[in-house]
Chains A and B, each alone.
Chain A
Amino acid sequence: MNRKIFLLSISLIAGCANLSAVRDISSQLLTAASSWDSVTGEIAGSCRRQLTLNSQLTDCKIETQASDGLSAANGVLISYFKALKNAASDSNFTIQPGLSNATESIAKIPGINADQVKAASGLFGLLARLATEKMRESVLHELIGEGAPAAQTVISAMNEVVVPQLRTQLDGEGLQLQGQFGRLIHEAKDRIEGNPSKLCEGSSAAKFSGTGFLLTQEYCRRQAIVDQRIAALAAYQATLKSTNDALAELQSSKTKLGAAALTQRLLEIGAELEDKVSALQKAFK
């Protein structure tokens, strides 16, 4: 009877420790946050590209400060997701190496039999696991209860400020390109019909002079980079939203982290996140 109760206790503890969904979503959040630097680095990146054409810019100091600041903020979020992943990883909450050593030493005691060794090490293990599970619970409670709302505040600010500012910055770069290359193409006496960006869609530049044609090629190359970065902003915004959703789910379920519904929801968010992160990584390759 006592043996049954002992086995039941062990299986209950093992059940509570089933945090693989939390660990998996933390890994995905970690990958997402690691991809954000490529986007936030675009404040400085766009400035550096414009600097080659626009003498009024003079330098990219403040833009670099903004990108570095965002990178530092991303770094804090990355550390948070790493801690969340570590707290949900069983390997960080095992006393197995120490327990194995102790079991070996107990087995060497003269006159002790196998059942006694098993009982002694089993009890030892149970007590140690109870203690470590309690510690894990406390770590996760603090990480989710206190850390997640603060992380959400930072992510919301990135969504509300970084995305529109980066969009404006890239739009400005687009206008700069159109003005600079439009003027140079006109100087080569070739006529641009409508918006210069249309030059990159059809064969109208084929009728241009040699200079006009080469200018169009360079314009389209630069404009393609800007267009690619603008398109990547949507993926960036989607990863911010998924991250926010995941943090909200974790907060609403922090007392039942092994629950099936939470696992399902985290898996869905994780799948969305994976798609968007892969689009983001592709855009900045």
Chain B
Amino acid sequence: MSVTTDISALQNLCMTSARCTLDQLLDLGPKPDDTVRALLWEQQTTRLQGQLNSLTAMNSKLAAASILTSLKKQTDALAKVGQVSRDAEKKIKQIAKVSDLLITLSKVLDLGLAVLTAAAGPTAASLTAVLDASTALSGSIANNGT
């Protein structure tokens, strides 16, 4: 017999007893006017209320215990779901890296073109263009961590 089955059997017992106790409690009816009978009523309702409180409190604890036991059994399945999700997110992020790599490649092309233009006819503007392209490439490399 598993722990969950044991807990479930105990819960059934608890709830059946709680229902019987409640019926007995309600069957006592309104508090009598007569002092002696009122005292007896007080005693009986206090005892039955105490029983009902214990049974419903135990029911609450057993429900929680049963859920915790079930969760423990699901540890492997939950670990698997978590691992698969983390792996998937990691792979999805790799796509963004491909895009970043293309951006870096375009900066390399820009720098090469700027160097060629400056070598063919060095002017202040063409040299500034080389400097700008070089800064852009450094920035792209720094951002990608490559």
Contacts and interface: CB of A to CB of B under 8 A. Distances in A.
A154 B78 contact: yes
Interface string B77-91: 110111011111101
A150 interface: yes
Interface in A16-68: 43, 46-47, 50, 54-58, 60, 62-63, 65-66
A186 B103 contact: no
Given A57-B60, A147-B85, A176-B53, A92 B95 contact: yes
B74 A104 contact: no
B contact face: mostly helix, strand, loop, or mixed: helix
A267 interface: no
Given A86-B88, A172-B56, A179-B22, A161 B4 contact: yes
A21 B139 CA distance: 39
Interface string B87-100: 11101101110111
A92 B89 CA distance: 10
Nearest to A164: B8
A131 B101 CA distance: 14
B63 A186 contact: no
B128 to A, nearest CB: 16
Contacts of A83: 84-85, 88-89, 92
Contacts of B138: none
A138 to B, nearest CB: 7
Interface of A: 43, 46-47, 50, 54-58, 60, 62-63, 65-66, 69-70, 73, 76-77, 79-80, 82-84, 86-87, 92-99, 101-102, 104-106, 108-110, 124, 128, 131-132, 135, 138-139, 142-143, 146-147, 150-151, 153-154, 157, 160-162, 165-166, 168-169, 171-173, 175-176, 178-180, 182-183, 186-192, 196
Interface of B: 4, 11, 14-15, 18-19, 21-22, 25-26, 28-31, 33, 45, 48-50, 52-57, 59-61, 63-68, 70-71, 73-74, 76-78, 80-82, 84-89, 91-92, 94-96, 98-103, 105-107, 109-110, 113, 116
25 contacts: A43-B63, A56-B57, A57-B60, A69-B68, A70-B67, A70-B71, A77-B81, A80-B81, A80-B82, A82-B85, A83-B92, A92-B92, A95-B99, A131-B98, A143-B88, A147-B84, A165-B67, A172-B15, A175-B56, A176-B53, A179-B25, A179-B26, A179-B52, A183-B49, A192-B26
